[in-house]
Amino acid sequence: MKKKVLVTGGTGFIGSHTVVELIENGYETILIDNLHNSEAIVAQRIGDITGVVPQLEIIDMRDKAAMGKFFAMQGSSIDAVIHFAAFKSVGESARKPLDYYYNNLVSLLNLLEETRKHGIKSLVFSSSCTVYGQPDKLPVSEVSPLKPAMSPYGRTKKICEDILADTVEAVKELKVVSLRYFNPIGAHPSALIGELPRGIPENLVPFITQTAIGIREELKVYGDDYDTPDGSCIRDYIHVVDLAKAHVSALHRLVNNKNKTNFEVFNIGTGKGVSVFEAIESFQRVSGVKLKYRIIGRRSGDIEKIWADTSLANSELGWKAESTVDDAMKTAWEWEKSLRGGK
């Protein structure tokens, strides 16, 4: 019998790619999403890729009554949860901190209340490298000290991890794996799903692709005076399909009782730092498009440099990032062109 996985935020960027990998690995999925930053048609596109259109329920996880009703109908059939649903922009969180605290914390609290009530034992949490703040030492590992996060978004992820760690102490049957992502980029090679920001993109790669295709006049680079080789921020950019596969590995670990403690954390990145200027060069190389960009001041909430030590995820999850930044840029560009009618 197939294990049934609830995927919250399942039509979002990372959620949709993970649902594809889950279906292709024999899991049954049910999605909930409030479509704040995604579209319902994504479920159909997942079906176009996999041959299976997942069930999608449009629910706002902050609505306790709606969550209760959903779980009363579905809770007994759910074996595990992967929780993506959250607001996710560092820059926006600095402008709208209350929205971020309310959305990201209340949605998790309502979810945990229902998983406890219905005896759901396995949960994979979508966390972030922002919980490390600006590390003293790189690469950053899971045992690195958690410095103060540089943004309200990062603080919500740290608080959510604290909530989960406390909950597994009290709810002994619950097992949680928290995946601390670095910077997901790219799109599915089919160009049927990818990152779909509403309005002006907050993340680098959608801004790059929208500039390349002519939607944005120019790309803004936030600062070239950091203590890095070329002065721009350094990040660990991971292909979203590699990231999606890490969730399947984490879920497999939980449902097969391979976890060593009831709350585990893993870094999910490539282990390689890439600067903003190097990312721009990568895109220009694979697309053949010369980007117009302008350097402006630093952005609130941005850390200077971070990349992952992924050895724990490599050894314990049996997972490793396989794609290069060039691979990811190529798929992001194909996705952008498909959105604009194949220009």
Tokens of 186: 């790219």
Smallest Cα–Cα separation from 191: which of 336, 40, 47, 50?
336
**In a 10 Å sphere around its CB, with 0-12 CB exposed, 13-18 middle and 19+ buried, how is residue 211 labelled?**
buried
Q: Are 104 and 162 in contact (CB under 8 A)?
A: no
Residue corresponding to tokens 């978004």: 153
Q: How many CB atoms lie within 10 A of CB 215?
A: 15
Phi-psi region of 66 (alpha: psi -120 to 50; beta: other; left: phi over 0): alpha
Q: Using CA atoms, how far apart are residues 28 and 19, in angstroms rounded to an integer?
A: 9
Smallest Cα–Cα separation from 243: which of 289, 182, 297?
182
Q: How many CB atoms lie within 10 A of CB 281?
A: 17
Q: Identify whether 226 is a catalytic site residue.
A: no
Q: How many CB atoms lie within 10 A of CB 242?
A: 22
Q: Kindly state the DSSP code that residue 118 receives in the 8-state scheme.
A: T
Tell me the HSE value of 109 on the side-chain side, using a 13 A CA sphere.
11
Q: Kindly state the DSSP code that residue 115 receives in the 8-state scheme.
A: H
Residue 293, H or E segment: strand 293-296
Q: Angle at CA 332, nearest 5°, toward 5 and 81?
A: 10
Q: Which of 153, 181, 226, 237 is catalytic?
A: 153
The dihedral through the CA atoms of 68, 72, 77, 79 has a sign that is positive
Point out the residues that are catalytic: 153
